[in-house]
Structure 1
Amino acid sequence: MAQKILTHKGGEFSISYAIQNAQNGAKPLVILHGWGANKNLMQQAFNALFRDFTHYYIDMPGFGNSKTPPFALNTQDYAEVMRLMLESLQLEPAKVTIIGHSFGGKVATLLNPKILILLSSAGILTQKSLKVRAKIVTTKLLNKVLPKNQLLRNLLRSKDVQNMDEVMYQTFKNVVDEDFSSIFKNFKNPCYIFWGKEDLATPLSSGERIHTLIYDSKFFPLEGDHFFFLKQAKEIERQFYINL
């Protein structure tokens, strides 16, 4: 396991990464995981594919073997830390291909790579269910009445964040409901958008919306849920090379 120590906004970030298929003259492929995942999951999907690329798998701050950040981050912070990480690996974001899944798709887009591959990317706001909206209202009201009740906080948190420390929970709140429509619209380089048809976390309509926003994009709905790429990685590779 390799590690880099970076500094951002005066804080120290310990970032874990792995380089695979390193070869002279190979094009760089940076692969970013989604929220709650890690580089190992992405390696599981893509390690045997994209053989003419050198793969760079990175654990973003607070995930996998990368330490919890010293303070709560937003998506711009994640992008800047990843930019510093690429520079430390002697990579220029504008000259690489980046795959980003879910939250990693937002970070990847901000890096403005030469080629962008989105896998069920986050960044399009969708209508929350009545149950979720009611829980948000209840949480806000109870936090005003009992602002320091940790047991109450844990009970009200979603299953995705119940075991997070406070820094990562605040980070989650910073990034979960962002509208990246204008950022997608301003992305001008080639983009390949792959999506799980049965995705409930980021619905297929979000992928269709991103496709309309990014002018130079191609859209590929595939069978599967939010983690469709674990079974569809070969098809992702095939469609990428066909349409390159």
Structure 2
Amino acid sequence: MICINQIKINVEISGQGDMNILLLHGWGQSTKAFTEISQHLATSFTVYNIDLPGFGLSEKPPYPYNTKDYADIIKGIVDYYQLDNLIIIGHSFGGRIAIKYTTMYNHVEKLVLIDSAGIVHKKKLNYYLKVYTYKLLKKCFSIPFLKKYKQKLLGRFGSSDYKNADNFMKQILVKVVNEDLRHEMNKIICPTLLIWGTEDNETPIEDAYIMKKMLGDAGIVKIENAGHFSYLENRYLFLSVLDVFLKEKG
């Protein structure tokens, strides 16, 4: 456990390679999401598997963070361990942070984005109806005879990330999901690998193609029939592709 910007951060370190890899998990996850990936990478690299603030064993932020605030935490970790030869691998929310960090600093050697967040689409009418219904139902459940239906009905509306977060983390989630990073991505100059599940309903594969257009040096690998956790759903293919990319000279 280390202290960065007055927050205790859990960092699990493994391996002794010359290149350093940071693993940034998705929303609602922790270092456990990358345990098997970390073990594999530790045979060739030094791996820093991080519990992001508000998740796992790390403390919550002192105020509702935005994506830059999370990127600042990553910079603090990099400085604390005096890391160079840096590779960042981020999944979903962790990918969003990885994008932001790499637009801010040019010392990242390689970037891997897995089913990454970072693209914001115009909301369809159905989205606003679901949000309105969710908020209305929450108010209605103050009526005693409706309370027994609360979980069943609320479960049909709102994202699982939002429903599972406490009130403080919901403030963070609302902030970060509305940050569109596409127009910052042209600042990223390092080789970037986009790995995506073709059946991802959280961050659709169309987002990968948008990112590829904005990035200078990027390739896409599709994992067929995989969803938002493509790296776990077909771990063998994921690791095979990752190994090739990491061994390539930048």
* TM category, shorter: 0.7 to 0.9
Structure 1: gaps of 5 or more residues: none
Give the superposed CA RMSD: 2.7
Larger CA deviation: 199-208 vs 162-171: 162-171
Residue 12 of structure 2 aligns to a residue whose secondary structure is strand
**Which amino acid counterpart does residue 103 of structure 1 have in structure 2?**
F
Matched, 1:237 2:232: no
User: Is the 1:27–1:54 contact (alpha carbons within 8 Å) kept by the matching residues of 2?
Assistant: yes
% identity of equivalent residues: 32
Query: Structure 1, residues 23-70: CA drift from partner, whole Å, max 9, x if none?
Result: 5xx211111111111111112234223632111100000011111222
User: What is the aligned partner in structure 2 of residue 35 from structure 1?
Assistant: 27
Residue 195 of structure 1 aligns to a residue whose secondary structure is strand
CA distance in structure 2 between the partners assigned to 1:133 and 1:87 by the alignment: 42
* Equivalent residues in 2 for 1:45-194, closer than 5 Å: 45-49=37-41, 51-92=43-84, 95-112=85-102, 113-128=108-123, 130-138=125-133, 155=154, 157-194=158-195
TM-fit CA distance, 1:166? 2.1
Taking structure 1 as the reference length, the TM-score comes to 0.84
**Which amino acid counterpart does residue 159 of structure 1 have in structure 2?**
S
- Structure 2 CA distance for partners of 1:212 and 1:98, relative to 1, 3 Å: same
User: Is the 2:193–2:219 contact (alpha carbons within 8 Å) kept by the matching residues of 1?
Assistant: yes
Structure 2: gaps of 5 or more residues: 103-107
User: Is the 2:22–2:89 contact (alpha carbons within 8 Å) kept by the matching residues of 1?
Assistant: yes
TM-fit CA distance, 1:176? 1.1
- Structure 2 CA distance for partners of 1:136 and 1:204, relative to 1, 3 Å: same
User: What is the aligned partner in structure 2 of residue 227 from structure 1?
Assistant: 229
Higher helix share: 2
User: Is the 1:50–1:237 contact (alpha carbons within 8 Å) kept by the matching residues of 2?
Assistant: no
